[in-house]
Amino acid sequence: MRKIFSAAAAFATAATAVVAMSGAAQAAPAGNSTVYGCQSGNVCIWPEGVNPVDNPHPTNQYSAYGYHNLSNQYGYHWVLNNQYGGAGAALCNNYGGTNCNEYLAQDQWTYTDLTPINSIVLYRP
């Protein structure tokens, strides 16, 4: 019995740490979960060097599945996959959604250098 409680405590501690590090703990129902200005169902990009908590106004919001070519996105940006139903997103080095190297699961954030990124892909599970 002690092992079960220890395992549960370890899991709870680990889950709390992941939530604290990600800053993406949003418990809202699908279809109604705007996160720092990013509407539910979208993948959003905030301006270079801007913290979404301080400035909840993403500059880019994508809602259609498929690829979207980027332009004039340089330096480090926060990107959020605020889609639902398990939909994912990929950051790709080439235009047209090819040569993808970073994948974002539903509700996942990344702070990444968009200088080499030329497209973003939204896809269904």
CATH of the structural domain 26-123, one choice from 3.40.50, 2.60.40, 3.20.20, 2.60.20: 2.60.20
> pTM of the full predicted structure?
0.74
The per-residue pLDDT for range 70-89, each reduced to its tens digit, is 999 999 999 999 999 999 99
**pLDDT above 90 for 1:** no
Report the pLDDT value the prediction gives residue 14, as an integer from 0 to 100: 37
Which of 3-12, 65-74, 100-109 is the least confident region? 3-12
- What is the pLDDT confidence band of residue 111, given thresholds at 50, 70 and 90? very high
**pLDDT above 60 for 7:** no
Inter-residue long-range contacts of 112-115, CB under 8 Å, 24+ positions, other chains counted: 112/76, 112/77, 112/79, 113/75, 113/76, 114/45, 114/48, 114/70, 114/73, 114/74, 114/75, 114/76, 114/77, 114/79, 115/73, 115/74, 115/75
The per-residue pLDDT for range 17-71, each reduced to its tens digit, is 333 334 343 334 445 689 999 999 999 999 999 999 999 999 999 999 999 999 9
